[in-house]
Amino acid sequence: MIESLKQHYNIEQKDIRLFKIVIQKEKFLKTLSFISSNSNFITLSQITCTDWIEDKLFTLNYILTNKERNKNLMIELQIPREQSKISTLLNFFPQAKVMERDLHEMYGIEFIGNPTLYDFALENWKEIPPLRREFDTLAYVNEQFEFRRGREDNRDVKVEMKKRRAEAKRLKNAKK
Amino acid sequence: MFLDIFFMIILAYSFGFLYYGLYRNISARVHGRFGPPIIQSFIDSIKLFSKENSTSFGWAFYAGIIFMATGAVITMLFIPFLNHSTHLIGFSQYGNLIVVLYLMVLGPLGNAIGIGSNGNPFGVMGVTRGLTRLIGLEMPFYIALIGLMIANQTADISTIMANQSEIYNAFAHPLLFIGAFISFVGFMGASPFDVVGAPQEIYSGPATEFSGKFFALALSQSAIFSFTKLLLIVNLFLGGADNLFLLIAKTFILFLAVVLVGNVYSRFTTVGSVEFLIKVPTVIALVGLFFI
Amino acid sequence: MQEGFIDYQKVLDNEEHAIKSTQSVIEKAVDWFRSKSMFVLAYGTGCGAIEMPPTFTSRYDIERLGVVGVATPRQADILIVSGYCSYKTLKRVIRSYEQMNEPKYVIALGSCTINGGMYWDSYNTIKRLEDYMPVDIFVNGCMPRPEALIEGFVKLQDNIRNAKRKAGYIKYIEDNEFYKANQRKIFGDNIEPTYEANFEGMN
């Protein structure tokens, strides 16, 4: 199956069971319809996204699995970071509905044609999508919540552990 | 007369609760652990009476629970406790076995009235399951009791008890006893027929909305009712008892058998239990009718 | 109505704790009975729920203390909040807590309820449970072993009998403004109705 696909695309093998194709965003629908109808890779396992903030890109990865469940094929493409839009895969794989809803909530990617792009795991969320790298989790948490004051006899962990290890070493050397 | 009735109620209440505590203890030892103390049910009851109510219910909810409790007490009063005696017999000379069987249905009916008026969907599901299961449970039980009534030519419980002086009915009519015992396990609420109040499936079924005083009354009703059913089987099949110690011993042995059967088996579904009960124990009891 | 996030330490510094000596004999006896039979709501809210089944079954049997699991909030006395609470979970937990009948107690399991625990820098979980619900006993650990949970139950029994501090459900009624203000900060206005019959605030 892989050999027959190698005539059309440039496939590289990442691992024993993992193969990868890198395509352009414009050829996305044609590629996927060709692969899902002409080969054994008929199941969409996952859609993942990586945030490259320095190059101003999102990298989307569509992972397909074959019918015998022993090979995976990754299809990678890049979309711009601002105003990121791409068409939906709902017509080929019905499970893409939930995966795209998740990605829309966490990264802000808009999937054209998906009617269920409302909130999934976050309720009453008023900030930017939280898995983007410009969202500073630490600043948000420190502003929103208040932590407990420590105890009065509080000690710093690193300093204390260093002291205790030095003490134990000294005792061991004194015994010899 | 009134002293009689008062003592009967006190005895049924305390022994019902003690037997429920014993049920938890014996189940615990079967599982390999120690259980709570035996008087745990009394402590639960007192704690439940002291809880506050947070919502208000219509009049039918209160009526349903009182219906259940009254049904249990009245059924118990029509069964004589002792054989060949004038103490602790209650109203049994004014009624017979047919009245007792009629009054035994008041429990699930009161449940249905109370929970049905509330509208909690889990409660309604539990009530329909309970009434469906009752259809299956009643058939072998009634056939066995009708067989006994034919054999003794009377419907009076005291007479049936007194006729067992040579040999117990359990050994004289063994097939009837087996049919009645299988459905009796379901009446006591033990596996494999305990799908009604299953807490893992439908959030305690009919008792979903019961809180505080209602739950305590439901527990008391269930304790008194269990003791009543134990008493009925002991009187009809195991010869009754002449004094209180023998009564306690016989009911305890029967109760132990039910508990041990209940701990071993898993649960039937509602439809599955009705199908089983209509096929196996009914046929056994019908065959036993031929050998009277 | 107070707005925003309020530091509970100020509230604690101003109140006086209930002392048991002003109670009558009957109330003391009823409290003894309450401590001997406690019904726990069978609700595992987080990853700490993995430590509840070993506690309730044969090896670390807690039924000896009279503790039983029940299925509905109407019959339960104790709610065990086991582990972290995201915003979604916390709303449902508070709804279950408000459906229980009084007297009711809350046991908070794990370090995530004390100061955030492993998820202290997460945008979606709460850091201190006692700002949103009144807590009676904290059991720390990640996760606490069944022996630690049993010790928490024994301490709760001791607290019920001797009343060293005000019980949680009394705090929830008296300081309701504080709890509702904190809940409103994270849920928006979509929260459960308050104890006053404030019809224009309800939705």
pLDDT winner (highest mean) among A30-44, A95-109, A110-124: A95-109
The shortest CB-CB distance from A137 to any of C7, C121, C128 is to: C121
Ranges of H-type helices in chain C: 8-14, 25-36, 52-56, 87-99, 112-115, 146-162, 168-174, 176-187
Chains with ≥3 CB–CB distances under 8 Å to A: C
A10 vs B137 pLDDT, higher one: B137
Amino acid A37: pLDDT: 81
Q: pLDDT tens digit string along C19-53? A: 555 678 888 889 899 999 999 998 888 888 899 99
Residue C116 in contact with partner chain B when CB distance is under 8 A: no
> What pLDDT score does B43 carry?
92
Structural domains in chain C, sorted by start: 8-187 (3.40.50.12280)
Q: For residue B36, give the nearest of C59, C63, C70 by CB distance.
A: C63
- The per-residue pLDDT for B204 is 62
pLDDT at B210 over 90: no
Write the burial class of residue C85 (CB in 10 Å: 0-12 exposed, 13-18 middle, 19+ buried).
buried
* For chain A, domain boundaries: 2-175
With contacts defined as CB-CB under 8 Å, which chain A residues touch C181? none
C131 min Cα distance to partner chain A (Å): 10
Q: What distance in Å separates residue B202's CA from the closest CA in chain C?
A: 9
Q: How far apart are CA A76 and CA C30, in angstroms?
A: 68
Q: How close is the nearest chain A Cα to the Cα of C135, in Å?
A: 15
Q: What is the pLDDT of residue B198?
A: 62
* CATH homologous superfamily of A2-175: NADH:ubiquinone oxidoreductase Nqo5 subunit (3.30.460.80)
Chains touching chain C, criterion 3+ CB pairs below 8 Å: A, B
Quote the tokens at residue B96.
């017979």
Q: Which residues sit opposite A43 in a β-bridge?
A: A65
Confidence check on the interface: ipTM exceeds 0.95, yes or no:
no
Mean pLDDT of A26-52: 87
In this predicted structure, what is the pLDDT of residue C194? 52
The arithmetic mean of pLDDT across residues B35-53, rounded, is 89
pLDDT in tens, B239-291: 888 888 999 999 999 999 998 998 888 888 888 889 999 999 999 999 989 88
The pLDDT tens digits of the residues spanning C151-165 come to 899 989 988 887 767
**Interface test with chain C among A135, A145, A152, by most C beta carbons within 10 Å:** A145
Please give the residue that has the higher pLDDT: either B57 or A75. A75
- CB atoms < 10 A from the CB of C102, how many? 15
Q: Which of residues 2-41 of C touch B (CB under 8 A)?
A: 30, 33-34, 36-37
Q: What residues 80-119 of chain C have any CB closer than 8 A to a CB of chain A?
A: 86-88, 91, 114-116
pLDDT in tens, B132-178: 888 888 889 999 999 989 988 888 888 888 888 888 888 888 999 99
State mean pLDDT over C78-84. 92
Measured CA to CA, the distance from residue C144 to residue C55 in angstroms comes to 11
- CA–CA gap between residue A94 and residue A82 (Å, rounded): 27
**pLDDT by residue (tens digit) across B173-192?**
899 999 999 999 988 888 88
Give B35→chain C minimum CA distance, Å. Answer: 5
C119, pLDDT greater than 70? yes
**Strand boundaries in chain A, DSSP class E:** 11-13, 18-22, 41-52, 57-66, 72-80, 85-87, 110-112
C198 pLDDT higher than 60: no
Residue C199 pLDDT exceeds 50: no
B75-134 per-position pLDDT tens digit: 988 888 888 887 888 888 888 888 998 888 887 788 888 888 877 788 788 888 888 888
Is residue C66 within 8 A of residue B43, CB to CB? The reply is yes
* CB < 8 Å to A132, chain C: none
